[in-house]
Structure 1
Amino acid sequence: MRTLRALLALLLVLLPTTIATAGVNPPEPPGWSAAWTTSPHLPSKSFAPNWSQTGFANQTLRQVIRVAETGAAVRVRLTNRYGTTPLAVAGATIARSVADGGIRPESVRNLTVRLSPTFRIAPGADIATDPVALALAPMESVTITLYLAEPTGPATQHAQAIATTYRAEGDHRADPTADAFTETTQTWYYLAGVDVLNLVPRRRSVVTFGDSITDGVGSTTNADNRFPDELAERLAASGNPRAVLNQGIGGNRVTVDSDWLGESALRRFQRDVLDQPGVGTVIILEGTNDIGLSAGAPEMDEPAVPVSAEQLIAAHRSLIERARAKGLRVIGATLLPFQGSPYYSEEAEAKRDALNEWIRTSGAYDAVVDLAAALADPVDPRSLAPAFDSGDHLHPSDAGYHAMAAAVNLSDLR
């Protein structure tokens, strides 16, 4: 195994790099590409109970994710981005998943850093594990298990995973079943991404960048029915499979930072989009929360921060310019209707209309996906169509997320 890792490391050094020019997205050369990502944010209170503020001690975390890209080897990106002390990982594994938190014993691979099975991640830092030989198939679920022996303090998280995370007392990294994992939550901890090694050129991946609607709030837990998941499935069915990376954060705003709704889109765009390996296209769906939270939300301790349509347009232009400078194709998505939700008012609707009209007609984006039109109620376009409404009049249902993916012109995803 050490020999394989050394050979893979040498191969990575020798692989060519890509020089991207604005608007041009050639196939990605051999090398690492992201097969799955999430957007970490501060440990804080959440929309549902989780363990981020208390952290972990002598406990094992088991987390299940689904990759959308194949490769000959795999590495996991872990993060202590918002930690205040070093994160000690006493052991970690990756394995193929089975139902209800189980794993396939023959597929278990120990994750190491610089060939050590124990390692520390400095406060504010991310690390990538050493490569392991585990050839993954598109749409395959894998389980990442972390044993955290020492107290971690508050944990870097992604609050709304829409997937079950399992916790056990003691070290249960290689347990084939989840019998020892007696506690669950729907939050990911310390995960930033899973990369795969491609030995031949491949299609570049797509980043979906946004808020809770990109994150998948309103979809069925553990069903992988989020908008990015549905789009990845559609691409695979079309014979053009590629990774579709989910970089949504519930409550996220374009222009405003928040302790528990994530750094603003402007602030996190570099890390969550531009720094991801192997990306060719980004779909931006952001602005609903800037509009809806302009008046504040006392129940969330969010003060009023009025944001105008003009400010949102200027922020979108900035994101477009930065993406193009990196050589990415940039697709703008119109904001979904939200009449009937707490966000709705005539003033809020006017801002949504103004931003959507600019996205549709300005020509600023390379392409547009008109999600507002695709999911609107034909009787009242200010509202989600009932079949596409999860029930809160803001977030789509499983059928709504499917319709979002169906609205994307696949030929726009270079």
Structure 2
Amino acid sequence: MSAARPRRLPPSPAPAGGGTRPGRTVRRRSAAAGALALISAAALLLPSSATADSGSATAAGSGPATAGWAGSWGTAPAPAAPDGLSREGFDNRTVRMVVHTSIGGDGLRLRLSNAYGAQPLAVGRTTVALPASGSSPAAAPGSLRPVTFDGGAAATTLPAGTEKISDPVPFPVPAGANLLVSVHLPKPTGPASWHWLAQQRSYVSGHGDHAADPAGTAFSRTETSWFFLTGVDVQGPRNRGSVVALGDSQTDGSGTTQDGNARWTDAFARRLALDPATRGLGVVNKGLGGNRVLRDGSETDRPQRGTSALGRLDRDVIHQSGVRAAVLYEGVNDLQLTPRASADEVLRGLRTLAGRLRARGVHVVVGTLTPFKDSPLWTADAERARTELNTALRASPDFDAVADFDLAVRDPADPQRVRAGFDAGDHIHLNDAGHRALADAVPTGALSADPVPTDARRHR
């Protein structure tokens, strides 16, 4: 689509089970160099299908390749925290954010969100570029490009509770590489729709529009969150759609190296790229620290934990571009945070998620919950519930496959604990090696198969 109108986000449905409502460095450098050479070419033209939106699951599963859009990077928006920059918002400042692609393409478009805003969000000049190096705020020479909205406008407005997709931008996007996305926010934003646990530096300027600045000198403040930006879609002849990971801090990357792109989803994207059967599948990370299957973060003193998985499924998974498969890896917070849910309640919630996805033709892989003994919130009751839930997940016919994350990272000498070499230090979150073990544990057969259309599922 050449111009995307703001999409009003639907209210969160009531959850089942008792809630209220819910690449390697060398490769990256060579890809960036190639991309710069392509940018310098005389013409950069997207195919005529650039205006077609393949955001539905059925559109993505048309064969081994699709000319439509697929998610290359993404994150889940959440309400502002009770204090800090997300609560204060921005006024005539520019935010420059670093994001990491999973697949490349001939062009891109950005997803912006005002999902939790209390007022219209004015978006000014917006640009995309390759970084000069690593996670630097400086743009690589000649790589900076403007992003437009609504059919060519340099600025736009997102009403409260909506999100918007930019116009397509002709841009050779390298796979497994960092991008710089800069957004000028010319007017007071009010509390921000943000993602607090980025494990990645972002940069905030002093007053003024610095989105088109090649240098990073104007960006004097460093944050480790993303603001208003929730996705980068790409288009290319070799893309085959995307896999969306829905989860909590374990998927979000808590415990991994900052700026290291070491989340299990990053490692999984690299694994998919190496296998001809799965090459061309993007990986979109919709993990959210503190998130639960059944309850919203607004029910606690930490609203930034976000809307429950049941409540955000449509926005964060089903409405993503080219989604053909999902990995559900969530539930430990339901078992350990008060009010605690039972294993049966969480199982019913995960089954509901899977049912809604499979009805849309999306393949579903469910992950078992990893150990957390000796972490501050561990209890014997929570451990019994985790074991019960994992046993049920391994035997359930409601999912297309099971990723046995528990088996992949538990200590063989004490299965209630994470193996020492995978422990990030708090006995629940995993380090970089632990995340690589998770990535290796995801079965890929269900991901490489074409999704089954809804009508066909009805006749099974």
Common fold, TM-score beyond 0.5?
Answer: yes
Question: Are residues 1:176 and 2:220 paired?
Answer: no
| Per-residue deviation, 1:389 | 0.4
TM-score by length of 1: 0.90
Question: Are residues 1:117 and 2:117 paired?
Answer: no
Residues 372-411 of structure 1 mapped to structure 2, 5 A cutoff = 372-411=406-445
Pick closer, same or farther for the CA change 1:376–1:394 going to 2, 3 Å. same
Pick closer, same or farther for the CA change 1:397–1:186 going to 2, 3 Å. same
Pick closer, same or farther for the CA change 1:400–1:25 going to 2, 3 Å. farther
Equivalent-residue separation in structure 2 for 1:391 and 1:19 (angstroms) = 39
Question: Are residues 1:65 and 2:94 paired?
Answer: no
| Per-residue deviation, 1:117 | 0.8
Amino acid at match of 2:325: T
Equivalent-residue separation in structure 2 for 1:16 and 1:246 (angstroms) = 19
Question: Are residues 1:82 and 2:116 paired?
Answer: yes
Given that 2:96 and 2:183 are in contact with CA atoms closer than 8 Å, whether structure 1 keeps it comes out as yes
Structure 1 equivalent of residue 247 of structure 2: 210
| Per-residue deviation, 1:201 | 6.0
Question: Are residues 1:257 and 2:293 paired?
Answer: no
Q: What is the SS of the residue equivalent to 1:106?
A: coil
Equivalent-residue separation in structure 2 for 1:15 and 1:41 (angstroms) = 25
Structure 2 equivalent of residue 101 of structure 1: 137
After superposing the two structures, state which structure 1 stretch, 168-177 or 276-285, moved more: 168-177
Equivalent position to 1:167, from 204, 208, 229:
204
Amino acid at match of 1:73: G
Amino acid at match of 2:296: D
Equivalent position to 2:228, from 185, 190, 201:
190
Equivalent-residue separation in structure 2 for 1:19 and 1:397 (angstroms) = 33
Given that 1:74 and 1:134 are in contact with CA atoms closer than 8 Å, whether structure 2 keeps it comes out as yes
| Per-residue deviation, 1:45 | 3.8
Equivalent-residue separation in structure 2 for 1:254 and 1:56 (angstroms) = 31
Structure 2 equivalent of residue 245 of structure 1: 284
| Per-residue deviation, 1:107 | 1.1
Question: Are residues 1:35 and 2:35 paired?
Answer: no
Given that 2:71 and 2:283 are in contact with CA atoms closer than 8 Å, whether structure 1 keeps it comes out as no
Structure 1 equivalent of residue 324 of structure 2: 280
Equivalent-residue separation in structure 2 for 1:375 and 1:241 (angstroms) = 28
Identity level (%): 38
Pick closer, same or farther for the CA change 1:15–1:32 going to 2, 3 Å. closer
Q: What is the SS of the residue equivalent to 1:52?
A: helix
Question: Are residues 1:219 and 2:259 paired?
Answer: no
Amino acid at match of 1:317: R
Given that 1:340 and 1:393 are in contact with CA atoms closer than 8 Å, whether structure 2 keeps it comes out as yes
| Per-residue deviation, 1:411 | 2.8
Equivalent-residue separation in structure 2 for 1:158 and 1:16 (angstroms) = 25
Offset from partner CA, 1:152-183 (integer Å, 9 cap, x none)? 11111001011001011122212223222111
Amino acid at match of 1:254: V
| Per-residue deviation, 1:363 | 2.6
Question: Are residues 1:56 and 2:110 paired?
Answer: no
TM-score by length of 2: 0.82
| Per-residue deviation, 1:209 | 0.8
Given that 1:280 and 1:327 are in contact with CA atoms closer than 8 Å, whether structure 2 keeps it comes out as yes
List gaps (5 residues or longer) in structure 2.
3-42, 449-460
After superposing the two structures, state which structure 1 stretch, 66-75 or 389-398, moved more: 66-75
Equivalent position to 1:146, from 165, 173, 183:
183
Given that 2:55 and 2:69 are in contact with CA atoms closer than 8 Å, whether structure 1 keeps it comes out as no
Amino acid at match of 1:206: V
| Per-residue deviation, 1:412 | 3.5
| Per-residue deviation, 1:144 | 0.4
Structure 2 equivalent of residue 302 of structure 1: none
| Per-residue deviation, 1:266 | 0.6
Tell me how large the CA RMSD over aligned residues is: 2.3
Offset from partner CA, 1:346-387 (integer Å, 9 cap, x none)? 100010001100111123211111100110011100000010
| Per-residue deviation, 1:26 | 4.0
Q: What is the SS of the residue equivalent to 1:396?
A: coil
Offset from partner CA, 1:234-257 (integer Å, 9 cap, x none)? 111234242111010000000001
Given that 2:57 and 2:362 are in contact with CA atoms closer than 8 Å, whether structure 1 keeps it comes out as no
| Per-residue deviation, 1:9 | 9.5
Equivalent-residue separation in structure 2 for 1:79 and 1:247 (angstroms) = 14
Equivalent-residue separation in structure 1 for 2:274 and 2:143 (angstroms) = 27
Equivalent-residue separation in structure 2 for 1:374 and 1:58 (angstroms) = 47
| Per-residue deviation, 1:15 | 8.0
Amino acid at match of 1:38: T
Equivalent-residue separation in structure 2 for 1:166 and 1:16 (angstroms) = 32
Structure 2 equivalent of residue 359 of structure 1: 393
The count of corresponding residues between Structure 1 and Structure 2 is 396
